[in-house]
Amino acid sequence: MKTRRRNYNNDKKEDRISDLPDGLILHILSSLKVKQTVQTSILSKRWKNLWKHLPTLTLTSSHFKTLKAFTKFVTPLLSLRNVPTSLHTLKFIYNGTIDPRLFEKILNYAVSHNVNELQLKGTCDIQQLPSCFFSCNTLTSLRFKVSPKTLSKRILFPNSLNLPSVTSLYLWLVSFRGGDDPFSGFTKLNSLMLSDFKILGEQNLSISSTTLDKLEIEMMFLFENYYKIELSTPNLSTFAFIGTPFHNKLLPCGSHLCSIKCVYIDTYADMCMNLEMDSPAILSWLMELTDIESLAISSTTLQVLSLVPDLLKVKLPSLCNLKSLRVKMKRISYSLFKEQLPTRSKEEFAKLKESFKKGSSSIPDGIVDFLLQNSPSAEVLIIN
């Protein structure tokens, strides 16, 4: 049997990737770790400076063995990428304590290269932010998930922040001065998400905006203080809440919340400290949100709501225009399981206990009927 001679010249593989347009290659490179992206510069002359024009720069300290190695890599990186290409997105994610000089250099670089979207995640003090950051005219999206070095010394969000181009803002673990509107300098703000925040003083937090369309509040941590939010947002159409409503109260102001059409409420019942206060809080929201058309709610929220005394006798005129009702099924809450024991018969108790052991979801009897009797035109969808 003759062996076929292989022609290696004909089998030479073509470099098809290098033939792709720059825009497509840069899109591929943006999905790699920054270290891998820089390493592509040794492939050929075609690739030598290509990485410098990436519109997205992701600096993540966990991709390096030590913070020292991260600092050693990033410092020359910014100098090498000093090209006219604007930086669309900067993601700066780090663990531990970053050298303040490096922190300032990275943010100065982002601002000087007309950054549009900025994500900060790590530990720092607000004083570390360079002055140019507080008046960046190109920034349109800011995700600020930065915790203070000491949790008791929470970052105080400045009222003087002037970011006129920002349309999307996410803030985590910050404090606000009560009585003031900290978002007055965000003249184009469209979407606002506040997570685990506090209000200092006895006054309410005021949010006054004619451009705000979506407000999301997430409370995963429990704080001892009560707070209230005054809304003067005539164009607010979407409101979402995730966590425990124990310390929260929305006060209608100006528009009386009638502009809100879409509502999402997901109560983490196991976090609730006082169910007798949580259930009326949810009910008050449904009564204050006067003209909603779409309601998405978790089964644990319905469990909390079911604890309202004589709930089935309550009328909710706010739901008369409801067109869509979505119920997200979640695991039965242990705290609510214990709360409901005194009101259950032996048969109901045994059935509920078995369901809890299996980790199944549950909707209290009559609670969906209660919502439907107040919204006869709504289409119901149960999501597992």
Confidence of residue 250 (pLDDT cuts 50, 70, 90): low
Instruction: Kindly state the percentage of the chain with pLDDT values over 90.
Output: 16
Task: Work out whether strand 191-195 and strand 294-298 pair parallel, antiparallel, or are unpaired.
Answer: unpaired
Instruction: Report which DSSP code applies to 99.
Output: P
Closest listed residue to residue 64, CA positions, set 34, 23, 97: 34
More confident residue, 87 or 167: 167
Which pLDDT band, with edges at 50, 70 and 90, does 222 fall under? Answer: low
What pLDDT is stored for residue 215 in this prediction?
Answer: 95
**What does the angle CA 37 – CA 38 – CA 44 come to, to the nearest 5 degrees?**
95
The residue-averaged pLDDT of 9-35 equals: 72
Q: What is the tens place of the pLDDT at every residue in 72-97?
A: 898 888 888 877 778 899 999 987 77
Quick one: pLDDT at residue 114? 92
pLDDT grade, residue 282 (50/70/90)?
Answer: confident
The pLDDT value given to residue 123: 77
Question: Band of the pLDDT at 300, cuts 50, 70, 90?
Answer: confident
Query: What is the per-residue pLDDT for 246?
Result: 54
pLDDT average, residue stretch 254-269: 79
Question: What pLDDT is stored for residue 63 in this prediction?
Answer: 87
In the predicted structure, residue 313 carries a pLDDT above the cut 70: yes
Mean pLDDT of 29-40: 83
Q: Report pLDDT for 103.
A: 85
Q: What pLDDT sits at residue 1?
A: 44
Considering only CA atoms, which of 95, 85, 211, 90 is closest in space to residue 142?
90
Q: Is the pLDDT score of 58 beyond 80? A: yes
| Six-digit token string for 152 | 């008791």
The Cα 130–Cα 145 span in angstroms is 17
Residues 352 and 337: beta-carbon distance below 8 Å: yes
Give DSSP secondary structure letters for 217-275. EEE-S--S----EEEE-TT--EEEEEE--TT--EEE-SSTTTT--EEEEEE-GGG-S-H
Produce one character per residue of 146-169: b if its CB has 16 or more CB atoms within 10 Å, e if not.
Answer: bbbeeeeebbebeeebebeebbbb
Mean pLDDT to the nearest integer, 277-283: 75
Reading the block at residue 365, the tokens are 């009897």
279 or 356: which leads in pLDDT = 279
In this prediction, residue 212 has a pLDDT band, given cuts at 50, 70 and 90, of: very high
Range ranked top by mean pLDDT from 176-180, 204-208, 254-258, 344-348: 204-208
Cβ–Cβ under 8 Å, residues 38 and 72: no
Pairing of strands 238-243, 262-267: parallel
Which of 133-147, 183-197, 341-355 has the least mean pLDDT? Answer: 341-355
Note the pLDDT tens digit of each residue in 110-156. Answer: 998 999 999 988 877 666 677 788 778 999 999 988 776 655 567 78
Mean pLDDT taken over the chain: 78
**Which DSSP symbol is given to 67?**
H
- Asked if residue 199 lies in contact with residue 222, where contact means CB atoms within 8 angstroms, the answer is no
Q: What is the pLDDT of residue 235?
A: 93
